[in-house]
Structure 1
Amino acid sequence: MADSLKVAIAAGGTAGHINPALALAEELSARGHELSFFGQPTRLESSLVPQAGFAFQPIDVTGFDRSRPWTLLSALWRMWRAEHALDRLFSRQGAPDVAVGFGAYVELPLMRWCHAHGVPFVIHEQNSVPGLANKTSAGQAACVCVSLPVAIDAFRDRVGAHTQIVVTGNPVRRSVISASRSQGRLALGIPEDADMLLVFGGSLGARHINQGVLRLKDELLSREGLYVVHSTGKGEYDSVVGELALTDEEARRWKVLPYIDNMGETLAASDLVLSRAGASSIAEIAALALPSVLVPYPFATADHQTTNARYLVDAGAAVMIADSDIDEESFSQELLSLVDDPRSREAMRAAARGLGQDRAASALADQVESAVLLGE
């Protein structure tokens, strides 16, 4: 598509919504389109979006708490005000050619405004189990894009007669996809010829995963060529450091971090990953074609992390361990067998490459451009 489009993107609340939106924005910007972001002024998007160099417009909305039915009135009032604010903004600056929503409540005013004014819009669902905002918006969307094939069924009865449902994958930012293994290893102080196990459980960490790895300290350190990079989560850091009680020599090969600043380079440096199975983690692991041992968070809504993990497991790119099995022998056997078996890891890498997750941003951008063509 040669003509430059004005694209409005609504994403917010968590990095799991914002980072795929930024990945799409990077791709669309590279194609010559003009981007503007809409999000809440007090949430993470208000800092991440400007840091990435994109225009940010604040929207004041709140979700509806089903346990407190009276919050519906205030949510609807803020929705109405936000739509009118968008109407005034677009009257001054011109309407977008197309909009994209990434599933948080903040998308609803923009999607509703677009529907009322004949502007096509696309929604993207990162998880295997769709959230309420995307389920609400699906009926008027030009295209519903999903990260995982299993999410298609959740939308079949919610889309309009002319709505397409397309599997694009979950977009990953260019800084992750283009990350260098050698630069990552240099930053971490890990030799090029060593094996590296990366352990992380999300921004808050995962206590059970941390405990399971702690019990394997002696086994892991007995592998002389193995380095462990262990991101504990901020709340777990002090206790994990205390329980590991690493000597100076052990600490050279077991690097404990409260969180990971540069996830792209850290992933790129890895030979094997042990992690939860959140949508962003799955997308980044698959995009970099990393062998992984996935331990889904057992209390996720509708057990969606298990469904997320199956996407890689069924492709042969990962193995899955139930959280309840971390204390069992099967956990240590599965993890250590992959640590010791580079041929199995290479087969998992090849399987992950076959998923094409590194092309998700491009695939989603294609659907955004197509929505404009279909609406003409």
Structure 2
Amino acid sequence: MDKRDLEVVIAAGGTAGHINPALALAEELRDRGHHVTFFGQTAKLEGRLVPEAGFELVPVVVSGFDRARPWTLVSSLARMRRAQSQIARRFCASGAPDVAVGFGAYVEMPLLNCCHRMGVPYLLHEQNSVPGLANKALAPHAEEVCISVPAARDAFERERRPARGVVLTGNPVRRSVVAASREAGRAAFGVREGQTMLLVFGGSLGAAHVNEAVCRLKGELLSREGLVVVHSTGADGFDDTVGDLALTPEEQLRWRVMPYISNMGEALAAADLVVSRAGASSIAEIAALAVPSLLVPYPRATADHQTTNARFLTDAGAAALVADDRLDEPVFAETLLGLLDDPARRDEMRAAARGLGGSDAAAALADEVERAARA
């Protein structure tokens, strides 16, 4: 088999934390001469991001089940079987792929189960320090599980879900992020030289508690001359945040509110400080561009894995951390305002972040995909 001419299928969906690493891999594989097709849900975020990146998205309809309502397992399994049958018919009609890759979430299960039944090798990529349910269920038949942080290896072992191999590749970051420049980013967001840019975002779905905590500091933040706030609220939090801020036309020049930032690479490159959740994709992108950050891990993440994710930066001195349950306490305002008022400390954090970024993670993961296909 010519390693330069593989048919690769990828399942990734739901959030940017799953989709963006998958797109980073797909871009690397495409550059190596391979053909990549995505499987996902058109109504979710992948329905927009995947076609925008120039890849075909094959529709898959699945749903998870609510453990608080166990009867939903019946409909979930029915949709899973139906999706698996549709994928099998597609492969029988047009040919099976050489290899498949799953990036977590339920959308990967019908694709990878179908591949297993048809003898197509598949790999898993785990972005977080604690594996998700789908990756744990599929790990025993995977050629390899590729992990972003060393802590995930122990997690797979504790779950007694051995794969044939566990490989540390890092978490792929899209080239549009890695290649972004401060100059282009500042031009894109209208931030002048000499101004300080604070970037606030909660991941692709937003973070209501973070939005509220930052809004309460409106007066303190805007009292700092030369500070510009770029605030991505998430689609669901946009109207509430705009209402809470009640910005005047003059204030809107220094506080830009938007539901979602599509050019996140430029936003990060332009920023002097980031306030963010600690999803795996966000951590990888912050590290890739060595941006000082104040991280607020999502408190209901499985096994508190966002706090473990955050330690990747905080242990290196590249970030500060405030727990979500302390957002309403003085410590959040003190930490945020203290970092804004201390450029020397931010310089130290930026220096500490350099070298943590996984700019070669996409290439490392692509190597494993090629290896699995040739096995």
Superposition pairs of residues 1-376 of structure 1, within 5 angstroms: 2-156=3-157, 157-160=159-162, 163-246=164-247, 248-373=249-374, 375=375
- 1: CA distance, partners of 2:79 / 2:195: 55
For the residue of structure 2 that corresponds to 1:148, the secondary structure is: coil
Tell whether the 8 Å contact from 1:20 to 1:170 is kept in structure 2 after alignment.
Answer: yes
Deviates more, 1:262-271 or 1:332-341: 332-341
By how many angstroms is 1:15 displaced?
Answer: 2.7
**Whole-Å separation in 2 of the counterparts to 1:57 and 1:260:** 25
Instruction: Identify unmatched segments of 5+ residues in structure 1.
Output: none
Q: What SS does the aligned partner of 1:312 have?
A: helix
Q: Report the alpha carbon displacement of residue 335 of structure 1 after superposing the two structures with TM.
A: 1.7
Aligned-partner SS, 1:37: strand
Task: Flag the 1:197–1:45 CA change in 2: closer, same or farther, 3 A.
Answer: closer
Amino acid at match of 2:86: A
String of CA shifts for 1:167-186, please: whole Å, max 9, x gaps: 22222222222223212211
Distance 1:77 1:235, change over 3 A: closer
C-alpha contact 1:267 1:288 (8 A) present in aligned 2: yes
Aligned counterparts of 2:250 and 2:211: Cα–Cα separation in 1 = 21
Cα distance, 1:77–1:222 mapped onto 2, change above 3 Å: closer
Letter in 2 for 1:369: E
CA distance in 2, matches of 1:21, 1:121: 14
Residue deviations 1:283-337 (CA, integer Å, cap 9, x gap): 2211211110001122233222212211211122111011222233322222222
* Cα distance change of structure 1 residues 38 and 210 upon mapping to structure 2, 3 Å threshold: closer
- Rate the CA distance shift 1:258–1:48 in 2: closer, same or farther, 3 A: closer
1:215 and 1:112, CA in 2 relative to 1: closer, same or farther beyond 3 A?
Answer: closer
Cα distance, 1:65 vs structure 2: 3.4
Name whichever of 235-244 and 183-192 sits farther off. Answer: 235-244
| Structure 2 residues without counterparts, runs of 5 or longer | none
Q: Distance in 2 between matches of 1:228 and 1:246?
A: 12
Quick one: structure 1 residues 247 and 93, their matched pair in 2 at CA, closer, same or farther if it must change by over 3 Å?
A: closer
> Percent same amino acid at aligned positions?
65
CA separation of 1:242 and 1:14: change in aligned 2, threshold 3 A: closer
Change (3 A) 1:252 1:91: closer
Shift of the alpha carbon at 1:272? Answer: 0.6
**C-alpha distance in 2, partners of 1:348/1:18?**
28
Size of the aligned set, in residue pairs, is: 373
Judge conservation of contact 1:288–1:358 (CA < 8 Å) in 2: no
The alignment partner of 2:253 has SS state of: helix
Per the normalisation by structure 2, the TM-score is: 0.90
How far off its partner does 1:362 sit?
Answer: 1.7
Contact 1:286 1:312 in 2 (8 A): yes
User: 25-34 vs 227-236, which deviates more?
Assistant: 227-236
Aligned residues of 1:139 and 1:158 also touching (Cα < 8 A): no
Q: Work out whether residues 40 and 59 of structure 1, in 8 Å CA contact, stay in contact via their aligned partners in 2.
A: yes
Instruction: Tell me the alpha carbon deviations over residues 3-44 of structure 1, each in whole angstroms, 9 at most, x when there is no partner.
Output: 321111112233322222111111110111111111234433
Q: Deviation of residue 212 (structure 1)?
A: 2.9
Aligned-residue RMSD, C-alpha: 2.4
Check conservation: 1:123, 1:138, Cα contact below 8 A: yes
- Matched-pair contact (CA < 8 Å) for 1:135–1:158: no
Q: Is the 8 A contact 2:173 2:285 kept in 1?
A: yes
* Residues 16 and 203 in structure 2, CA contact (< 8 A), matched pair in contact too: no
Segment drifting more, 18-27 vs 43-52: 43-52
Evaluate the alpha carbon distance shift between residue 140 and residue 332 of structure 1 in structure 2; reply closer, same or farther with a 3 A threshold. Answer: same
* Amino acid in structure 2 at the alignment position of 1:174: R
**For residues 247 and 61 of structure 2, what CA distance do their matches in structure 1 show?**
48
Q: What secondary structure is seen at the aligned counterpart in 2 of 1:230?
A: strand
Q: Quick check: 2:195–2:227 contact (8 Å CA) kept in 1?
A: yes
User: Which sits farther off after the overlay, 217-226 or 268-277?
Assistant: 217-226
Query: What letter matches 1:338 in structure 2?
Result: L
Determine the C-alpha separation between the residues in 2 that align with 1:106 and 1:214: 35
Distance, in Å, in 1 between the alignment partners of 2:44 and 2:170 is 25
Partner of 2:347, secondary structure, is helix
Closer/same/farther in 2, CA of residues 109 and 202 from structure 1, 3 Å limit: closer
Query: In structure 2, do the counterparts of structure 1 residues 190 and 356 end up closer, same or farther at CA, with 3 Å as the change threshold?
Result: closer
Q: CA deviation at 1:76?
A: 3.4
Q: Which amino acid aligns with 1:342?
A: P
